[in-house]
Amino acid sequence: MIRVARLPLSILAAALSVAVLLPVIGGAQPKPLRPYTLILDFVPTGEYVPHYTALEKGFYRDEGLDVKILRGQGSGDTVKRIAAGQGDVGIADISALIAARANTDVKVKAIALWYRRPPHGIFVRSDSPIKTSKDLEGKKLAISPGNSHQILWPVFEKLSGLKPNSVTWVTMDAASMPPALIRGATDAVPFFVVHEARIRKIAQQQNADIRVLAAWADLGFDVASTSLVAREDSIAKDPEALKAFLRATLKGADYAFRTKHFEEGVGYVVKSHPEVDPDGALGAAQVAARFVYAEEVTSGKVAVGQFEPVRVEKTRDLYTQYLELKRKVTLEEIYTNDLLPEKK
């Protein structure tokens, strides 16, 4: 008879514990991150602090996304790139989206409202003889391809009393626009007012200065503005990834903008883009926060990113009229609130 040696109970228990733990340890391997691309509407600066905060603090990674942020060339261009599948989410003025849907039936839709007021503005040199918007008649303005200021220029003409088609556009890269203004190659440049601190610093480094000639919102331009956009097929077939992206982005906004971690967030932008001026980026972040966290958000009327149907309808109607669009798109073609982490 063959005798089998008995193991001490303590050794047997330890062996069983290891055997039970091994599958658990093996199953705890993290899932691979999914590549995801965000296309901005402009060059990286302080207004994008929430996105770089979400990137640097791991909010996107926590949602399973390996996010890459690409610079933009204007809202119109970003909408085209998203439609072409060059990115998963884009940042674009809603006017460019509405125009693209109306005129070319681009299958792109807004998934979150970012700027609740239009940040559009016109800058001139401080010593410029141009004192009012009407003085722009016959002047040269720099513009980047696809820039929403040019798309919306007929609206500005109506609001300011400027004679239609009375300015000359000089097309150039967005980064070249401030230097062109400072050296006098153009008479004015359209920029979001969040860029005032950045452009002023560039000017002062060349012993010059700039001023805001007109902030469009002050002229009565009170409509929905910059939004996060995505392809319709992504919304229909892959909503969970978009929801994850929005959760992380709005978490970044809450940290950077709502609780005013501006300098920390600017540090993250500069880390990714050392060419960014921290002072200008800080000024942009502080102004941008007021567009994202407008009164209706801080009062609790709506959630961050939430569209209001009445405001979108007003926005759609204004652009359809002033931009002479081919058709009036439906609200359902323009936006959805269904992907937001919170709605009120």
What strand order describes the sheet that includes 89-93?
A: 65-70, 34-39, 89-93, 226-231, 108-113
CA distance 286 to 283: 5
Six-digit token string for 51: 């996105």
Rounded Cα distance, 333 and 85, in Å: 18
pLDDT at 30: 64
Q: How far is CA 42 from CA 28, 37, 73, 144, 191, in A?
A: 40, 15, 5, 10, 10
Which of left, alpha, beta for 43 (phi over 0: left; psi -120 to 50: alpha)?
A: beta
Q: What is the pLDDT of residues 114-170, one digit of tens each?
A: 999 999 999 999 999 999 999 999 999 999 987 888 888 998 998 899 999 999 999
pLDDT at 29: 53
Pairing of strands 168-171, 140-143: parallel
**Per-residue pLDDT at 14:** 44
With contact defined as beta carbons under 8 Å apart, do 252 and 69 qualify? Answer: no
The packing angle between helices 49-56 and 262-272, to 10°, is 80
Average pLDDT, the chain: 90
* C-beta separation of 114 from 292 below 8 A: yes
pLDDT on residue 36: 98
pLDDT in tens, 66-121: 999 999 988 999 999 999 999 999 999 999 999 999 999 999 999 999 999 999 99
Contact assessment for residue 91 and residue 38, using Cβ atoms and an 8 Å cutoff: yes
